């Protein structure tokens, strides 16, 4: 590292999460934070940033009274509501670490996370008390805080050191925050553990603040915006968008536990202008919009879609209702923002069809992040839009190791994170994920992308969801098969005719050898704890169809 001439800037000023809510409370003090808890046994809460900050500071004091010190880990098991949102600032404001638990994980995985992190205590939402009881029973925790509107109705196994969240608010004075070393861990998320035990990623105050600025560059939050936090906050910090929205003083809507119907009403009634989520929520949301009378019109909703590529047909159909979908890419290890599909001027000058094709890509790396693609030997590949290699990532908010985990050496090399995604990068810098490396299908020595097949299947009006995997074949090594969930109005059709129709549909875009040999019509496709298709389970279920 080169040492240059010293600046006159106050570089000792620390980037701390508590400064975000402190700023919002002072400058945007009367802007609302709205929390829907009606599907969790609670009620709808409406508060201002000023009121939220007062509660945050009191919870911090309450945690201090329970013995929490800088560096301690405090687990949180909840939904996207005001108490979870407050915990982002109350726990981290002490210099402690907010350990975010994914309630969709198996109990043994959650147990592992609590033990591996050495969590001192846990916040549990009232609607998740059954999971909470199991974790409390299996772990030696110093305290349990119940997040509820009515603690009297709860049945708790853990009899001592149980506290009501609202009592901590009521019975403690506001905390005056001190500067925290910005390189200290603020929050932690653990990967979903589809292969082995979950792996811990601990995010620093600095990385979260820098990442929030990057999110602002993509969603362009303004004080007049209304942001709905749809992504579970335990999932890669809710993609950091709630931090970015708070930073800009936008109105925040926390939908709590929701259904597609309740979410659709929230988006419409609250006038939401910005949000983010996986394609998995967009599909049922579209179904709800289609049934509504009169036809709903959203408030030019800017929506970042992550995870797998959103089907093009889905993007176009949602646009009719006032939703503008932008594709982005990231992971737990990347906080998560890596790329966003922001169109360059030259892209806007392309034909409409070429612009549509480009919109399907994961997008351009945002400032602060570097990307490259490499072959199996580690050789860097050209940005030509054709060469396929593993995507490697490093940057200001990218992990360079897992917490206390030997598997770090398998996933990181020279500060680059090995994503496990096969990708191309074109001459304009746009990244396109071809597939997970482990999900690419090798048939007769040629590669087939499961993602491309899935997206084209879902462009057919009969298909609600589709997942494609490779299964062992005696001649071709692997052959693709597809699992399809039909839309309701197609479920009484002849399946043989539908299979033929779907294969003809695929033949418009794919060579004959790329088309799935068999299409299975199912009521539900197995999914992981993060809502992605569980292809490991699917492959295991269908591995013997060719008797290999």
Rounded to two decimals, what is the model's pTM?
0.90
SS3 523: coil
Dihedrals phi, psi of 423, to nearest 5 degrees: -145, 160
Cβ(189)–Cβ(201) below 8 Å: yes
**410: CB partners within 8 A, 6+ apart:** 418
Q: Look at residues 308, 146, 327, 331 and name the one whose alpha carbon lies nearest to residue 237.
A: 331
199 is catalytic: no
Q: Say which of 31, 92, 187, 191 is annotated catalytic.
A: 191
SS3 state of residue 134: helix
Q: Could you confirm whether 357 is annotated as catalytic?
A: no
Q: Which H or E element spans position 330?
A: strand 323-330
Omega prior to 362 cis, within 30 of 0: no
Torsion angle, alpha carbons of 7, 13, 15, 18, to 10: -160
Question: 347: Cβ–Cβ under 8 A, 6 or more apart, which residues?
Answer: 355, 358, 428
- In degrees to the nearest 10, what's the CA dihedral of 331, 204, 144, 157? 30
CA distance 55 to 163: 16
Residue 274's pLDDT is what?
A: 98
As a three-state string, the secondary structure of 113-124 is: HHHHHCCCEEEE
**Annotated catalytic residue, options 447, 500, 513, 543:** 447
Phi-psi region of 237 (alpha: psi -120 to 50; beta: other; left: phi over 0): left
- Strands (DSSP E) along 396-445, which ranges? 412-413, 416-425, 431-436, 441-443
Distance from the Cα of residue 411 to its chain's centroid: 20
Give the CB-side neighbour count of residue 202, counting CA atoms within 13 A: 22
Q: What per-residue confidence (pLDDT) applies to 429?
A: 98
Residue 155's pLDDT is 62
Active site residue 447: yes
Burial 159-183 (b: 16+ CB within 10 A, else e): eeebbbbbebbeebeebebeebebe
Among residues 319, 344, 442, 543, the one annotated as catalytic is 442
pLDDT for 151: 72
Give the closest residue to 61 by CA, choosing from 93, 38, 21.
93
Catalytic-residue membership of 335: no
**529 CB-near residues (< 8 Å, 6+ apart):** 102, 104, 105, 192
Domains in the chain, CATH or no CATH each:
17-33+40-212 (3.40.50.12780), 440-542 (3.30.300.30)
Look at residue 44 in the predicted model and tell me its pLDDT. Answer: 92
**Contact present, 133 and 157 (Cβ < 8 Å):** yes
CB 233 within 8 A of CB 85: yes
Of the listed 333, 454, 465, 478, which one is catalytic?
Answer: 333
Q: Using CB atoms within 10 Å of the CB of residue 516, give its burial: 0 to 12 exposed, 13 to 18 middle, 19+ buried.
A: buried
Q: Is 344 helix (H, G, I), strand (E, B) or coil?
A: coil
In 10 A of CB 446, how many CB atoms? 12
Low-confidence ranges of the chain (pLDDT < 70): 152-159, 193-195, 307-310
Q: What is the pLDDT of residues 63-106, one digit of tens each?
A: 999 999 999 999 999 999 999 999 999 999 999 999 999 998 88
> Residue 29 and residue 13: Cα distance in Å, rounded?
23
């Amino acid at each position: 590292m080169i040492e240059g001439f010293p600046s006159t800037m106050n570089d000792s000023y620390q980037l701390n999460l508590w400064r975000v809510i402190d700023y919002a409370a002072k400058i945007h003090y009367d802007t609302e934070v709205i929390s829907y808890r009606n599907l969790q046994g609670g009620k709808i809460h409406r508060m201002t940033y000023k009121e939220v900050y007062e509660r945050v500071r009191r919870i911090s004091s309450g945690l201090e009274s329970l013995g929490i010190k800088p560096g301690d880990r405090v687990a949180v098991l909840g939904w996207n509501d005001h108490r979870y949102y407050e915990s982002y600032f109350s726990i981290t404001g002490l210099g402690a670490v907010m350990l975010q638990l994914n309630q969709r994980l198996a109990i043994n995985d959650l147990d592992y996370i609590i033990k591996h992190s050495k969590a001192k205590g846990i916040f549990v939402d009232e609607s998740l008390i059954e999971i909470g009881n199991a974790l409390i029973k299996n772990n030696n925790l110093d305290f349990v805080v119940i997040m509820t509107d009515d603690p009297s109705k709860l049945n708790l196994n853990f009899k001592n050191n149980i506290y009501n969240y609202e009592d901590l608010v009521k019975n403690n004075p506001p905390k005056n925050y001190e500067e925290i070393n910005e390189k200290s861990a603020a929050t932690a998320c653990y990967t979903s553990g589809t292969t082995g035990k979950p792996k811990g990623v601990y995010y620093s105050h600095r990385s979260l603040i820098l990442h929030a600025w990057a999110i602002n560059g993509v969603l362009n939050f303004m004080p007049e915006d209304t942001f709905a936090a749809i992504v579970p906050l335990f999932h890669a910090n809710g993609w950091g968008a709630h931090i970015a929205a708070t930073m800009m003083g936008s109105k925040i809507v926390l939908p709590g536990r929701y259904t597609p119907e309740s979410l659709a009403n929230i988006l419409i009634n609250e006038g939401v202008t910005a949000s983010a989520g996986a394609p998995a929520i967009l599909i049922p949301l579209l179904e709800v919009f289609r049934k509504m009378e009169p036809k709903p019109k959203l408030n030019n909703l800017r929506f970042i879609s992550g995870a797998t590529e959103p089907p093009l047909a889905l993007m176009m159909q949602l646009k009719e209702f006032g939703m503008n979908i932008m594709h982005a890419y990231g992971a737990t290890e990347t906080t998560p923002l890596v790329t966003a599909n922001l169109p360059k001027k030259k892209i806007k000058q392309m034909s409409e069809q070429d612009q549509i094709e480009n919109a399907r890509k994961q997008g351009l790396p945002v400032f602060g992040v570097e990307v490259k693609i490499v072959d199996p030997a580690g050789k860097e590949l050209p940005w030509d839009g054709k060469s396929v290699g593993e995507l490697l990532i490093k940057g200001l908010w990218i992990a360079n190791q897992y917490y206390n985990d030997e598997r770090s050496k398998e996933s990181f090399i020279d500060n680059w994170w090995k994503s496990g995604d096969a990708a191309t990068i074109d001459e304009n810098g746009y990244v396109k994920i071809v597939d997970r490396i482990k999900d690419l299908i090798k048939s007769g020595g040629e590669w087939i992308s499961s993602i491309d097949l899935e997206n084209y299947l879902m462009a057919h009006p009969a298909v609600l969801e589709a997942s494609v995997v490779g299964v062992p074949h005696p001649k071709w090594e692997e052959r693709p098969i597809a699992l399809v969930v039909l839309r309701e109005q197609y479920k009484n059709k002849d399946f043989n005719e539908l299979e033929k129709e779907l294969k003809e549909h695929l033949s418009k875009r794919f060579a004959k050898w790329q088309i799935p040999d068999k299409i299975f019509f199912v009521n539900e496709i197995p999914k992981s704890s993060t809502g992605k298709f569980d292809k490991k389970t699917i492959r295991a279920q269908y591995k013997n169809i060719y008797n290999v």
